[in-house]
Structure 1
Amino acid sequence: MYEIAQRVLTLLTEPPSEVTVTIGLPFEEPTGEWSCPYRIDGLDGWEHERKVTGVDSLQALEIVLTVVRSALTESAEAREGLLVWEEFT
């Protein structure tokens, strides 16, 4: 995956660890739809690499940001208050 964006979050475990979110470059599928890959590493039980699909590259990118935010905020780690963005806490 050719990455276009990445963020590292802190997981407040003992010892602290990291959760890395990587967004890939949108690409056109043979069907004409566009996909945007993403990867989340560091959460328990997460299937690490997936993609979302939209009608064009911008929609695929918008959807991937929504999906990633949802995956992070709905994770067990976030619900337990263990997942933080250092710059925004």
Structure 2
Amino acid sequence: MYEIAQRVLTLLTEPPREVTVAVGLPYEEPTGEWSCPYRIDGLHGWEHERKVSGADSIQALEIALTTVRGALEGSPEAREGLLVWDEFT
């Protein structure tokens, strides 16, 4: 995956750990649909690498960002208040 954006969050465990979120470059599928890959690494026992599709590259990117946000917010670590983005918590 060719990354176009990445963010590192902190998991407030003992010791603290990093959770890395990466979004890849949207690309056109042979079907004409556009896909955008993303990856989340570092949550307890969970690595997540997928792609989402949209009608064009902007829609695929928007869906990827929305999907990443939902996955992070829905994680047990976030629900327990253990997942933070440094000073922007």
> One fold, TM greater than 0.5?
yes
TM-score by length of 1: 0.96
Greater strand proportion: 2
The percentage of counterpart residues that share the same residue type is 83
Q: Which runs of 4+ in 1 moved over 3 A?
A: none
The letter for the 2-side match of 1:19 is: V
Matched residues, number: 89
Please name the residue that 1:35 is paired with: 35
Structure 2 residues not aligned, in runs of 5+: none
Partner residue of 1:55? 55
Q: Offset at 1:43? A: 1.0
Aligned-CA RMSD value: 0.9
Q: Where do 5+ consecutive residues of structure 1 fail to align? A: none
**What SS is found at the alignment partner of 2:62?**
helix
Per the alignment, in what secondary structure is the counterpart of residue 48 of structure 1? Answer: strand
TM-score by length of 2: 0.96
